[in-house]
Structure 1
């Protein structure tokens, strides 16, 4: 694997402060020229690339698997690949995604059937495969379902739309989950995904999210570089304000 992040270190500055990370969701890009699109987005300042893996079971849509990730890694050797695993059997794909070049493996709590042991088993497997580990929840899942696992995670993902399709409206009420997590876990990387644009990133940042996934909000923008820069500034400014308020 290659990329700007190794091991299980949180995305912080040298002072230990959380850092904004802006990741375009490449599923919204031109899939006929995906490697070129990835290079374009990285050239625009993207901190990482968010890859949505859907199996047609956990969510009704179907995207791609580890062979495509391996092919993309050969063309894009230096980038953090953040795998959003919207799959019904997250354990099944851990090693294959690691071998393909993934850096971070975020699976869904709901895919484990409300079985905490399955969640812990998947976390352990991801660690053993030398990837950062993330755990996500859908909008209808209470945030406290994440609490037993936080100490074992690098990142939590709060979905701000129902997973499976792009272009949905941002769910403002999901920000209470982000706020709860940030109040309890000051140094945790918190990612939001779904309907995030320049119009909504401020809400995410003020609630405490520092990893921002944006699909159409970045990729369809006339100037993606400017959007990424503005999003990063908004998040970093919110982080600075939170540090002053402590």
Structure 2
């Protein structure tokens, strides 16, 4: 059963706490915080301080997805409250950021954009496969990413493999069959009116 991480990128700031609490009551146990530098991906997402405040207010587990050209300088702030931090394989010096994540006691992960091959990810490292261009929250899911997930799962039976970008409830079964055990869900969970369709999975995640 894939772990569900809720992304609030598209949720208006005045509704974020209420949205988290509503899904928390349904069984949500993990938050996914996106951060961009405005260069690697268009401006958006969260500052570490805002994400920390919302995380502390709800007591949920948290992970960070850093979409930045030079993510190393961002690591320490996010490692204060996130147990998993993901940086992009397309970022220069991503390996230094991965080392820093580990040194800070967090699980490192590598995100790969749609055009990046699965082979760039080191064996057994957690990997987040993007179905959409980073920073374009609300875009439609591209199911060709499932081939990449399958390739990664065939190469490693144990690693954490995630999907991010346009994930809807109807994609869960095919994602799981391909080998994903971690799903980042935003619009379909918080804004589409389809949150009730996730209740069975959220209860099983709880």
Q: Which residue of 2 aligns with 1:13?
A: none
Does residue 182 in structure 1 map to residue 153 in structure 2? yes
How far, CA to CA, are the matches of 2:178 and 2:34 in structure 1? 24
Q: Is the 8 A contact 1:56 1:62 kept in 2?
A: yes
- Name the one with the larger strand percent: 2
Q: Which residue of 2 aligns with 1:79?
A: 60
Q: Which residue of 1 aligns with 2:188?
A: 217
TM-score normalised over the length of structure 1: 0.76
Question: Unaligned 5+ residue runs, structure 2?
Answer: none
Deviations 1:161-200 (A, max 9, x none): 1111212111111111100011111011100001110222
Matched residue count:
205
Q: Is the 8 A contact 1:160 1:174 kept in 2?
A: yes
How far, CA to CA, are the matches of 1:69 and 1:193 in structure 2? 19
1:71-220 alignment runs, 5 A limit: 71-76=53-58, 78-99=59-80, 101-112=81-92, 118-146=93-121, 149-151=122-124, 153=125, 155-220=126-191
How far, CA to CA, are the matches of 2:139 and 2:61 in structure 1? 25
How far, CA to CA, are the matches of 1:123 and 1:85 in structure 2? 11
How far, CA to CA, are the matches of 2:176 and 2:40 in structure 1? 29
Q: Is the 8 A contact 2:127 2:162 kept in 1?
A: yes
Q: Which residue of 2 aligns with 1:6?
A: none
1:28-67 alignment runs, 5 A limit: 28-67=10-49
- Name the one with the larger helix percent: 1
User: Offset at 1:44?
Assistant: 1.6
Specify the SS of the correspondent of 2:162. strand
TM-score normalised over the length of structure 2: 0.90
Q: Which residue of 2 aligns with 1:3?
A: none
Q: Is the 8 A contact 1:23 1:213 kept in 2?
A: yes
Which structure has the larger Rg over C-alpha atoms? 1
How far, CA to CA, are the matches of 1:174 and 1:226 in structure 2? 23
How far, CA to CA, are the matches of 1:187 and 1:60 in structure 2? 33
